[in-house]
Amino acid sequence: MTALCQSPRKVITAPGFGVPKGACDCHAHIIGPVPRFAFVEPRSFTPPDALVPDYLAVLSTLGIERMVIVQPSVYGTDNSRTLAALIELGLHRARGIAMVEESVGMSELRELDAAGFKGARFITMAKGGAPIEHLEGVAKKIAPLGWHIEMFVPTNAWPELYQKVYDLPTPVVLDHMGHITPDRKGDDPALAAVMKLLETGRCWVKLCGYRVSLAGHPYADVAPVARRFVEHALERCVWGSDWPHTNVEGHMPDDGELLNLLSDWVPNRTAFRRILVENPAELYGFGG
């Protein structure tokens, strides 16, 4: 039996700047209630409930209007919890990322697509995800829908996965900054593989960096990594809070502080708006 994760903060810091209209949090999870939505076995952790009203309270403080709800590993390929969240939130402001295996039927994919799902996630950093061996099969099935593949894999996996990811018929989104840690510099093979993927023009990166910090709070060591991504692929960077911060030990992240970090990673307000508003609108199909 896995240990219960700590709960997210009930009170967070307000951003120290004006957040542009139409801003999007591109990475969050909705969890529970249990037992209505049962967790998969085996799993790597057991999170507490993190419901839509709780999340909307966070977004209200942040001044963020749009969101992307990502299937967490604890639900495996049963997307019913994330689907229910999208229905509750509505297509005018919410999109979703599913987890599916290559055996998934097109009827299920079309149902998810109609509800606002825009991608399929592969995660090998925790138990519960679809096998990475299904990557190519899933990509072929979702490509006609205009979906993308989202990946959360160990840093050292990128050199081996590079060609396979390069050959996919879909765009690819790197969860948690590709899990590139601050000590990866120069000609590091993992960093080189990720940067080469970004050069294809079909690879996006989520600027969600606290999990790759080696120093911990306040995560200042992540800044050079984030700035490198912004410098090389501003037009394909998005931001995510990662609320409710499952399986975090020690300091519980403050979502307002995390958003404040983004303002330190970008060169100007134009880039800030690009990452928070324009890029998510393109990647996830938000109108206006």
Domain boundaries, the chain: 24-284
Q: What is the pLDDT of residue 1?
A: 66
Catalytic member of 25, 113, 188, 242:
242
Q: What does the pLDDT read at residue 288?
A: 58
- The secondary structure of the chain, three-state, reads CCCECCCCCCCCCCCCCCCCCCCEEEEECCECCCCCCCCCCCCCCECCCECHHHHHHHHHHHCCCEEEEECCHHHCCCCHHHHHHHHHHCCCCEEEEECCCCCCCHHHHHHHHHHCEEEEEEECCCCCCCCHHHHHHHHHHHHHHCCEEEEECCHHHHHHHHHHHHCCCCCEEEHHHHHCCCCCCCCCHHHHHHHHHHCCCCEEEEECCHHHCCCCCCCHHHHHHHHHHHHHHHHHEEECCCECCCCCCCCCCCHHHHHHHHHHHCCCHHHHHHHHHHHHHHHHCCCC
pTM beyond cutoff 0.75: yes
User: Is residue 175 among the annotated active site residues?
Assistant: no
- CATH number, domain 24-284, options 1.10.730.10, 3.20.20.140, 3.90.550.10, 3.20.20.10: 3.20.20.140
List per-residue pLDDT tens for the chain, 288 residues long. 687 899 999 999 999 999 999 999 999 999 999 889 999 999 999 999 999 999 999 999 999 999 999 999 999 999 999 999 999 999 999 999 999 999 999 999 999 999 999 999 999 989 998 999 999 999 999 999 999 999 999 999 999 999 999 999 999 999 999 999 999 988 899 999 999 999 999 999 999 989 999 999 999 999 999 999 999 999 999 999 999 999 999 999 999 999 999 999 999 999 999 999 999 999 999 975
